[in-house]
Amino acid sequence: ADINLTQVRDDLVALAFEAGRMILSANPSAASADTKINAVDIVTETDKAVEHLVSSRLSSLYPSYSFVGEETYVKGVTAVTDAPTFIVDPIDGTQNFVHGFPHACISLGFTVGRVPSVGVVYNPFLDILYTGIRGQGSYMQRNASEGTPKEKQKLPLGGGDRKLGKLSTSLVSIEWGSQRDGENFELKNRAFKRIAESGGGMVGGFRSLGSAALNICAVAAGQLDMYWEGGCYAWDVAAGWCILSEAGGKMFGGNPGDWETSLTSRKYLAVRGASEGQKELVEEFWACLDGEKMA
Ligand code: IPD
């Protein structure tokens, strides 16, 4: 049967606002969060409660569709397949959330044949909503949950004709991620130094804001030129990926030469839409890895 992507988008937006109210009314603390792989990989009761709300609502609205969520993921068991699948991070930016830094979101992706087909990313602290539907463009809305007239802006903001320049004039987001040991972490640290010193000058600016989904949305909006991370998961990127593609941006792989990447590759390089310079900037960035590849 045909899938009504507009209906899926509307249902996900309604859920995002409901989840947003839960997130805003929670009173988390860094001290009371549980840890997963290490002390920086944290989960709160709110992450779990939001995922439960989302998964139970989606299974009653769309009983035949699959669900992949960060907090119920089981390694080796949960898989992203070709089936219509909701891919959900209940709170992306959990460190920010527990510290009250207002840069966290709920990330609701929907894939068909593993292609990101609907993306809804909502930051309840700033009341900013990003949405995208495959083939229909992507949008950013401020004061999104208010009943008053809404400002819905097509992405990228200001149109897509701005050229991309060199790394030395680019605003780049990178994240350390939650894995803080091992060869990939060492490689990232070497690469961060090379990127910062690239082109005999400096990268225009590094940002590490703590939410993969919001990073990708900022790239889609054209507020960041690129975002690089190795180690995050499909639920961090699925929703943003749709929003990015619909804004003319592209998701490349995090390793040199990976012009194509997959949802589950865990190595991503998002680049904003531009009339020219995308390929050149990607190559300049990859060169900073100096032939090294993340496992
Ligand atoms: C994390 C954030 C962070 C990224 C990590 C993710 P979470 O997601 O997106 O920016 O660097 O790799 O795990 O744990 O807050 O949902």
Q: Pocket residues for ligand 1 (CB within 6 Å)?
A: 70, 89, 91-94, 175, 177-178, 210-212, 229, 231-232, 236
81 counts as catalytic: no
CA pair distance 67, 87, nearest whole angstrom: 6
Helix (H, G, I), strand (E, B) or coil at 221: helix
| Residue found by looking up tokens 């605003």 in the block | 171
Where does residue 144 fall: left (phi above 0), alpha (psi -120 to 50 degrees), or beta otherwise?
alpha
Using CA atoms, how far residue 25 sits from 22, 97, 128, in Å, is: 5, 12, 17
Q: Is the pLDDT of residue 211 over 80?
A: yes
34 counts as catalytic: no
Residues 23 and 89 in one domain: yes
Q: How large is the average pLDDT for residues 259-270?
A: 97
**Over the stretch 108-167, which tens digit does the pLDDT of each residue have?**
999 999 999 999 999 999 999 999 999 999 999 999 999 877 889 999 999 877 999 999
Q: What is the pLDDT of residue 200?
A: 52
Structural domains in the chain (count)? 2
CATH number at residue 53: 3.30.540.10
Give 172's contacts (C-beta < 8 A, 6+ positions apart). 195, 203, 204, 205, 206, 207, 224, 225, 226, 227, 228, 285
CATH number at residue 201: 3.40.190.80
What is the token pair recorded at 45?
């009761």
94 counts as catalytic: yes
Q: Is the pLDDT of residue 234 over 80?
A: yes
Residues 123 and 174 in one domain: no
**Annotated catalytic residue within 47, 71, 175, 236:** 236
Checking ipTM against 0.90, whether it exceeds it is yes
Question: What's the DSSP call for residue 131?
Answer: E
**Over the stretch 85-115, which tens digit does the pLDDT of each residue have?**
999 999 999 999 999 999 999 999 999 999 9
- Tell me which residue range forms the domain holding 179: 167-287
**Over the stretch 165-210, which tens digit does the pLDDT of each residue have?**
999 889 999 999 999 999 999 999 999 888 888 755 557 788 999 9
Residues 33 and 172 in one domain: no
- Strands 151-154 and 138-142: what pairing? antiparallel
